[in-house]
């Protein structure tokens, strides 16, 4: 077995099973500190996973799709605000791993020249209906190289077999001086050290890699890209923390939708919680702004 990032062959064993009880090892590289699954699923198994109904919403179920859109709204707006603060309107932006296209729709509304790519046939079909009149492809090779001012990849690198290779490929689709904005789950997430059950829940079959800022920066360097800025953001609510601490279980999705309305006191609590974690670098997501 070789480390996905540095090719070292010595590891610490971190866990023997994943969420749902599947017997796959989680190992930490003794050289670069990268955490990954072993054995890894094949490319074919990964592709198949994103073609099943369990992870993709059938087109007929409009209600479920709109629930999902509400559920993701805060994240969609956060991502769109972030890109809008860095990239001028009218620029060409590619969202790699565009899922159902919620971000594409929001960026089109904001007057960006947005395109999307997602490996899943079902998701791209849903995205095409959901975000009509936007270029959405299943393969990067359907697009022209060196044609984007900005490429976003929110929660993508942890799903792929070759994160450094993907960064190198994405780089070839950027215009000279173009920017790459990536987000991955943060292995330094505060809940991992706080709640043992959360740790058991954290390792999952879809996530081949578990990055923190250090291992993610290593990938950026190895891909020949320049890291401009690293920052942290807490995606999940303070109610998720409370659910884990009190009930040893995640926050139910219905609660997320309910609290999306944000009464004043709740907003205050949320903001302080999220700010604290971002400062401490222990929020659940880490972002990087990268230059080609
Ligand atoms: Zn390594």
CA–CA distance, 1 with 9 (Å, rounded to integer): 6
Residue 135: predicted pLDDT? 96
Bridge partner residues of 185 (DSSP): 285
Residue 285: predicted pLDDT? 98
Q: Quote the ligand 1 centre to 55 CA distance (angstroms).
A: 30
CA–CA distance, 158 with 289 (Å, rounded to integer): 17
Quote the tokens at residue 96.
């790699």
Model pTM? 0.94
| Domains of the chain, each with CATH number or no CATH | 43-291 (3.40.50.150)
Q: Quote the ligand 1 centre to 158 CA distance (angstroms).
A: 15
Residue 257: predicted pLDDT? 62
Q: Quote the ligand 1 centre to 11 CA distance (angstroms).
A: 8
Residue 72: predicted pLDDT? 83
* pLDDT tens-digit profile, the chain (292 residues): 999 999 999 999 999 999 989 999 999 999 999 999 999 989 898 888 888 755 555 545 556 777 778 778 889 999 999 999 999 999 999 999 999 999 999 999 999 999 999 999 888 988 998 888 999 999 999 999 999 999 999 999 999 999 999 999 999 999 999 999 999 999 999 999 999 999 999 999 999 999 999 999 999 999 999 999 999 999 998 989 999 999 999 988 777 666 666 678 888 888 999 999 999 999 999 999 999 9
Q: Which of 46, 26, 48 is nearest to 36 (CA)?
A: 26
Q: Quote the ligand 1 centre to 129 CA distance (angstroms).
A: 41
Residue 262: predicted pLDDT? 64
Bridge partner residues of 151 (DSSP): 94, 180
Q: Quote the ligand 1 centre to 242 CA distance (angstroms).
A: 34
Cβ density class 194-217: b for 16+ within 10 Å, e for less: ebeebbebbbbeebbbbbbbebbb
Residue 59: predicted pLDDT? 47
Residues 6+ apart with CB under 8 A from 92: 112, 113, 115, 147, 148, 149, 150, 175
Q: Which residue has the tokens 């290593």?
A: 218
The CB density around residue 281, as the number of other CB atoms within 10 Å, is 15
Q: Quote the ligand 1 centre to 40 CA distance (angstroms).
A: 15
Q: Quote the ligand 1 centre to 32 CA distance (angstroms).
A: 4
Q: Quote the ligand 1 centre to 166 CA distance (angstroms).
A: 17
Q: Quote the ligand 1 centre to 94 CA distance (angstroms).
A: 30
Q: Quote the ligand 1 centre to 275 CA distance (angstroms).
A: 31
């Amino acid at each position: 077995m070789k480390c996905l990032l540095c090719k070292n062959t010595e590891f610490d064993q971190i866990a023997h099973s994943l969420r749902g009880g599947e017997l796959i090892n989680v190992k930490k590289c003794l050289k670069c500190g990268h955490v990954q699954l072993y054995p890894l699923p094949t490319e074919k198994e990964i592709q198949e996973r994103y073609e099943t109904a369990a992870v993709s919403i059938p087109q007929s179920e409009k209600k479920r799709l709109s629930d999902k859109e509400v559920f993701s709204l805060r994240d969609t707006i956060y991502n769109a605000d972030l890109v809008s603060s860095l990239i001028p309107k009218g620029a060409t932006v590619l969202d790699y791993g565009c899922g159902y296209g919620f971000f594409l729709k929001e960026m089109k509304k904001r007057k960006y020249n947005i395109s999307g790519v997602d490996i899943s046939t079902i998701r791209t079909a849903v995205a095409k209906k959901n975000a009509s009149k936007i270029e959405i492809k299943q393969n990067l090779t359907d697009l022209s190289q060196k044609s984007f001012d900005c490429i976003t990849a929110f929660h993508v690198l942890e799903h792929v077999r070759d994160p450094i290779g993907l960064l190198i490929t994405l780089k070839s689709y950027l215009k000279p001086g173009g920017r790459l904005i990536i987000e991955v789950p943060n292995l330094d997430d505060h809940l991992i050290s706080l709640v043992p059950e959360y740790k058991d829940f954290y390792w999952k079959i879809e996530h081949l890699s578990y990055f923190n800022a250090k291992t993610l920066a290593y990938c950026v360097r190895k891909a020949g890209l320049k890291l401009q800025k690293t920052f942290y953001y807490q995606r999940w609510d303070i109610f998720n923390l409370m659910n884990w601490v009190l009930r040893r279980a995640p926050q139910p999705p219905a609660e997320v939708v309910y609290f999306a309305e944000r009464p004043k006191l709740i907003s205050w609590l949320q903001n302080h919680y999220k700010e604290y974690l971002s400062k401490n670098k222990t929020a659940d997501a880490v972002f990087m702004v990268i230059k080609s």
